[in-house]
Amino acid sequence: MSIAPAWYLGLAAVLFSMGAIGVLIRRNVLVMFMCIELMLNAANLTFVTFSRVLGDIGGQSLVFFVLVVAAAEVVVGLGIVVAIFRRRSTTMADDLHGMKG
């Protein structure tokens, strides 16, 4: 007994929506990063689902590259957040307007 691909795609849509709403509503930069990671994982679930349905390995290999980009985003993003926190003692996105060029 196998689960239908529509359930996986529905779960991915719910996860992506939760991440998008979190990015739009929350002002804490760390929470925003977690919501972006949630959206990337929803996209990965979609890639794996279509890869399984189509019988092609391309979707699974694309997931590998998305994970690499997500890891790089976390490293760079957290480095910036730590530098901002050391300087301003807050990680709220509204307080970062002074970083404009």
pLDDT in tens, 40-57: 999 999 999 999 999 999
> Does pLDDT of 86 surpass 60?
yes
Asked if 59 contacts 44 with a C-beta cutoff of 8 angstroms, the reply is: no
Other CB atoms closer than 10 Å to residue 32's CB: what's the count? Answer: 20
Q: pLDDT confidence of 100, banded at 50, 70, 90?
A: low
Q: How far apart are CA 53 and CA 11, in angstroms?
A: 16
Tokens of 77: 């993003």
Q: Which residues pair with 49 in a beta bridge?
A: none
Q: How far apart are CA 69 and CA 63, in angstroms?
A: 10
Q: How far apart are CA 52 and CA 49, in angstroms?
A: 5
pTM for this predicted structure: 0.83
Handedness of CA 56, 60, 65, 70 (dihedral sign): positive
Through-space distance between the first and last CA atoms of the chain, rounded to whole angstroms: 57
The pLDDT mean for the chain works out to 88
